[in-house]
Chains A and B, each alone.
Chain A
Amino acid sequence: MSLFSTAATSPNQSTTVDLSQDLQVQGPEDSISDVAFSPTAEIMSVASWDNKIRIYEIGQGGANGKAMYEHTGPVLSTHFSKDGSKLASGSADKTAKMFDLGSGQNQQVAAHDMPIKAVKFISVNGTEALATASWDKTLKYWDLRRKYLLRSGTKRRTKSYCVCGITREGVHNGHQG
């Protein structure tokens, strides 16, 4: 009896999925870099290379545009705060902005020397803060109530690690700004 006498179960599982139930959203004019969902409501934010952040309300019939604001460079990252009241975005214009979903206003909350690759709301010992990671090789924490820089890492002088993030030397007990 050959080892191969019995037919092996053929891998006939399809690698494609049924897309008929999917809904297309009227999206940006350029590539999407990041999407985030609100933890408290049926709201989605879309960051795009067309410099804009689009905020959609998701319902049964699809997604309806709710708000939009702009950076002066491609937006690379977006994230909702834990209570779902605020939205942050990090951009290649070297700034991070925060959008208040209640008032519909946005303001700049962070700045780096290079594009900001990622933004996340964090909780540091009960205090809400914004963490921003940048191609300037630093990770910065921003106090959102008083709007100042909590901690910053220093730049590494030698090697260029510019491709996908900051260096591991990113954060230490840096200056307070």
Chain B
Amino acid sequence: MDTKDNLLVVGTADRHIAIFNLSNPTTIYKSLQSPLKYQTRVVSCFTTGNGFAVGSVEGRCAIQYVEDKVILTQLLSLIF
């Protein structure tokens, strides 16, 4: 779990990731599957609060944006 400003990201079991908007903290703003193949170990928010990094037990790291525009999200999201 990590948070920045209104963004709260929770990495859960089964590679799920729950994103909360803290102006409405009781509902999940967005729920997604981790882009990584293996179990999530850590999530860490950008200082800008518009995205986050995901780390897995495999040692890989992924960059995810919360941005709603699907095309932009796909362009900017990375795994390395």
Contact = CB atoms under 8 A, between A and B. Distances in A.
A174 B20 CA distance: 15
A110 interface: no
A168 interface: yes
Interface residues of B, number: 23
Interface string B1-38: 11100001011111011101011011110010000000
B12 A173 contact: no
B32 to A, nearest CB: 9
A30 to B, nearest CB: 20
Contact of A167 (B2, B12, B20, B25): B12
A166 B31 CA distance: 13
A172 B39 contact: no
A139 interface: yes
Contact of A164 (B2, B8, B25, B39): B39
Contacts, number: 76
Interface residues of A, number: 26
A131 B22 CA distance: 11
Contacts of A170: 10, 12, 18, 28
B3 A131 contact: yes
Given A120-B2, A168-B28, A171-B28, A161 B12 contact: yes
Interface stretch (A20-28, A56-64, A122-130): A122-130
Interface in B46-74: none
Interface of A: 117-118, 120-125, 131, 133, 139, 141, 151, 161-168, 170-174
A174 B25 CA distance: 12
A164 B26 contact: no
A131 B1 contact: yes
A77 B26 CA distance: 22
29 contacts: A118-B10, A120-B2, A121-B3, A122-B25, A124-B22, A124-B25, A131-B1, A131-B8, A133-B1, A139-B1, A139-B10, A139-B18, A151-B25, A161-B12, A161-B14, A162-B13, A163-B39, A164-B12, A164-B39, A165-B11, A165-B13, A166-B10, A167-B14, A167-B16, A168-B17, A170-B18, A171-B18, A172-B27, A172-B28
